Amino acid sequence: MGQTSLFNVLKVYASYDTVVGYCQGMGFITALLLMYFTEEEAFWMLVCVMRGKYRLRKIYEPGLSLLRQRFYEFEHILAEFDPILAKHMKNENIIPTMYASQWFITVFTHSMPFELAVRIWDVFLNEGFKIIFRIGLAILISHRDELLKLEFEELLPRIKAVQIEVASDPDRILRIAYSR
């Protein structure tokens, strides 16, 4: 039943929004919505999240211009909050497109356990994209000292592994996210 409901909502949304249609990542968001809503309610919530004040639809639009903008913003926010880590990542040619795509495309529904994902979504529905930047910074800053010691070959896989590690303590990652 779950996969059928997911398919139904995504199929209707793709028909409703023919410019965006279906994009990878939408399934994770829709699956989260289906945990709380009927198919029809999940569809309308998806429409609200995509087209309403959250403008998530712009992340998926052809050309991915808002997604590219979010990467640019994240890179500069990291440089503001931790210039040393930002410079190290730049020197190692590690850019947000290499590690943060799923953060923005799925609003952490792909990379975080359910308990943390729903908490992030609670904040997302209240504050919008700010929470993605906060959690992203918290992921990197929580392992800053270790990341600064690594070179490209080890750095990128380690950033991805850190995401899994920080997810094991949702309270800690949220404290870090809101400490700056």
Query: Does residue 40 register a pLDDT over 80?
Result: yes
Query: Does residue 26 register a pLDDT over 90?
Result: yes
- pLDDT band, residue 166 (cuts 50/70/90): confident
The alpha carbon of 129 is separated from its chain's Cα centroid by a whole number of angstroms, namely 9
pTM of the full structure: 0.91
Query: Does residue 150 register a pLDDT over 70?
Result: yes
Residue 1's pLDDT is 61
Reported as a single tens digit per residue, the pLDDT across 87-115 is 999 999 999 999 999 999 999 999 888 88
Secondary structure of 62-108 as H, E, C letters: CCCHHHHHHHHHHHHHHHHHCHHHHHHHHHCCCCHHHCCHHHHHHCC
